[in-house]
């Protein structure tokens, strides 16, 4: 009988792939924020606690943004204070501005993230200012974080396409990434926000960005809206990227295409990495169990194909 957890890793991680990949789990934040149904605080806490037992090293816990804008994350303080914080695991939180940063630190956050974009229109529609203005706002956060010795992760949205502008120039992505890296972000996560990228555009974009930011500081955050995520991630790995964002059970639809999928499923990513002999430290079975838990709580089917296939074998 076949079990996905026993996929042979005899296929060595040679031939141009990193030996290890850090998986950044964004389900509790990016995932839950983009789900139709809202789950109560204890469920969120249990989800994060279960994820903490899977071997994942980074779990994005919540977002310190005004509940007026993101009601799903209104319980950010309770979540941050309620979760088990295991040693060796990072629990970054989103902080869109200084106020959010201060609230996050007060609630016990030890790592934060800021969100930029490679598209002016997207920035305008999303946070009502220009890219330049958004980076100025982040400057305050960077300064405060530096003083408090808090690492900051930078996200760049729309790196392979924008719901408003359409095509996005790779040079623009490189420019914004460079700015955020220079401001002090230790890592830049490049997000294919609407999932339109393909291995072709991924390669082109990374080639430009890698001229400005060392590959060791790069991550990819691929959406599976057009089914391209794993192929795009594969190309990124081939180019030396070794940090990949994913969401348990593929939580989080696409807000720009009703009913379409969004985040790539962590289970499917880990399955692929296992098959490539790349070390992640993640226990796929425990991950699948966590996915089952949150899908039951959300009363929805999983978006992970590995999970779908496995529970019938």
Residues labelled as active-site residues: 254
Find the shortest distance in angstroms from Cβ 310 to other proteins: 8
Of 8, 128, 149, 299, the one binding other proteins by CB under 8 A: 8
| Nearest residue to 160 via CA among 131, 187, 192, 185 | 192
* Region binding other proteins by CB under 8 A among candidate stretches 45-53, 116-124, 135-143, 229-237: 229-237
String of contacts with other proteins for each residue 273-292, x by CB under 8 A: -xxxx---------------
* Region binding other proteins by CB under 8 A among candidate stretches 101-109, 134-142, 185-193, 250-258: 250-258
Interacting residues with other proteins between 154 and 193 (CB under 8 A): 161, 166
Question: Contact at 8 Å (CB) between 27 and 51?
Answer: yes
C-alpha triplet 184, 110, 129: angle, nearest 5°: 50
* Region binding other proteins by CB under 8 A among candidate stretches 117-125, 140-148, 185-193, 199-207: 199-207
Contact between 36 and other proteins by CB under 8 A: the answer reads no
Find the shortest distance in angstroms from Cβ 305 to other proteins: 3
Find the shortest distance in angstroms from Cβ 20 to other proteins: 15
Find the shortest distance in angstroms from Cβ 301 to other proteins: 9
| Nearest residue to 218 via CA among 243, 254, 247, 239 | 243
19 CB-contact burial (10 Å; exposed 0-12 / middle 13-18 / buried 19+): exposed
Instruction: Report the distance separating Cα 134 and Cα 126, nearest Å.
Output: 11
Find the shortest distance in angstroms from Cβ 39 to other proteins: 24
Give the strands of the sheet with 58-59, arranged side by side: 58-59, 22-25, 243-246, 218-222, 187-192, 152-157, 112-117, 93-94, 62-63
Total residues contacting other proteins by CB under 8 A comes to: 52
313 CB-contact burial (10 Å; exposed 0-12 / middle 13-18 / buried 19+): exposed
Residue 203, C-beta contacts closer than 8 angstroms, at least 6 positions apart: 235, 239
Token output for 86: 């295991």
Find the shortest distance in angstroms from Cβ 54 to other proteins: 18
Collapsed DSSP state (helix, strand, coil) of residue 211: coil
Contact between 265 and other proteins by CB under 8 A: the answer reads yes
Instruction: Report the distance separating Cα 247 and Cα 261, nearest Å.
Output: 12
First to last CA, the chain: 8
Cα 192 to Cα 6, 95, 203, 235, 259: the distances in Å are 31, 20, 13, 14, 18
Contact between 122 and other proteins by CB under 8 A: the answer reads no
Contact between 304 and other proteins by CB under 8 A: the answer reads yes
Contact between 309 and other proteins by CB under 8 A: the answer reads yes
Of 10, 36, 88, 299, the one binding other proteins by CB under 8 A: 10
Contact between 242 and other proteins by CB under 8 A: the answer reads no
Question: Contact at 8 Å (CB) between 281 and 294?
Answer: no
Contact between 241 and other proteins by CB under 8 A: the answer reads no
Contact between 306 and other proteins by CB under 8 A: the answer reads yes
Of 61, 73, 190, 235, the one binding other proteins by CB under 8 A: 235
- Contact residues toward other proteins (CB under 8 A) are 1-2, 4, 6-11, 15, 161, 166, 195-201, 224-228, 230-231, 233-235, 254, 256-261, 265, 268, 271-272, 274-277, 304-306, 308-310, 312-313
């Amino acid at each position: 009988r076949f079990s996905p957890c026993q996929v042979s890793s005899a296929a060595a991680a040679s031939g141009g792939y990193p030996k290890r990949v850090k998986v950044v789990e964004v389900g509790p934040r990016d995932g839950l924020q983009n789900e139709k149904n809202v789950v109560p605080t204890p469920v969120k806490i249990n989800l994060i606690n279960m994820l903490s037992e899977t071997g994942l090293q980074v779990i994005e816990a919540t977002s310190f943004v005004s509940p007026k804008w993101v009601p799903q994350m209104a319980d950010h303080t309770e979540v941050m204070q309620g979760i088990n914080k295991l040693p060796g695991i990072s629990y970054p939180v989103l902080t869109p501005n200084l106020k959010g940063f201060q609230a996050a630190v007060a609630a016990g956050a030890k790592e934060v993230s800021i969100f930029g974009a490679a598209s002016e229109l997207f920035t305008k529609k999303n946070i009502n200012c220009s890219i330049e203005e958004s980076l100025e706002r982040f400057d305050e956060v960077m300064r405060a974080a530096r003083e408090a010795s808090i690492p900051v992760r930078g996200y760049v949205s729309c790196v392979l396409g924008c719901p408003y502008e359409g095509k996005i120039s790779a040079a623009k992505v490189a420019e914004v990434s460079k700015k955020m890296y220079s401001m002090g972000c230790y890592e830049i996560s490049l997000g294919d926000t609407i999932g339109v990228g393909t291995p072709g555009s991924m390669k082109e974009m990374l080639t430009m960005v890698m001229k400005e930011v060392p590959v060791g500081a790069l991550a990819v955050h691929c959406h599976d809206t057009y089914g391209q995520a794993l192929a795009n991630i594969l190309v990124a790995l081939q180019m030396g990227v070794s940090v990949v964002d994913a969401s348990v059970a593929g939580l989080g639809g696409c807000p720009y295409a009703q009913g379409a999928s969004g985040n790539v499923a962590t289970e499917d990513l880990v399955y692929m990495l296992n098959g490539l002999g790349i070390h992640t430290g993640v226990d796929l079975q425990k991950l699948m169990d966590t996915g089952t838990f949150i899908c039951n709580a959300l009363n929805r089917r999983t978006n992970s194909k590995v999970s779908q296939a496995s529970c019938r074998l």
